[in-house]
Amino acid sequence: MNLSSASSTEEKAVTTVLWGCELSQERRTWTFRPQLEGKQSCRLLLHTICLGEKAKEEMHRVEILPPANQEDKKMQPVTIASLQASVLPMVSMVGVQLS
């Protein structure tokens, strides 16, 4: 089997679902929980992270907290974007995939 046929077979099994969230002062975190059926794997593709028009003029960090593994009970967050309204209010995340 060549790589192109393996890749196309994998692509056919992928289900795409549009998902988004809005963080605010009241809701500072959001957990992505995919609805998996059977033994499907899941990938989260990040496309755009942006500040809303009411964002305060301060540094806003977007972080991912990986699931804990058996060795480390708590994983450290990974910053994927730092935004500030007057400097960088939006960032396009090209090629970011989390499995």
Helices (H), the chain: 3-12
Q: Does the predicted model carry a pTM greater than 0.75?
A: no
Q: Is the CB of residue 77 less than 8 Å from the CB of residue 32?
A: no
Question: Any idea which residue has 């289900």 for tokens?
Answer: 15
pLDDT in tens, the chain (99 residues): 344 444 455 555 666 677 788 888 889 888 887 776 666 677 778 889 999 888 899 999 998 887 777 776 777 888 999 999 999 999 998 877 777
Domains and CATH numbers, the chain: 42-63+76-96 (2.60.120.340)
Q: Is the CB of residue 80 less than 8 Å from the CB of residue 63?
A: yes
Identify the three-state secondary structure at position 8: helix
pLDDT value of residue 3: 43
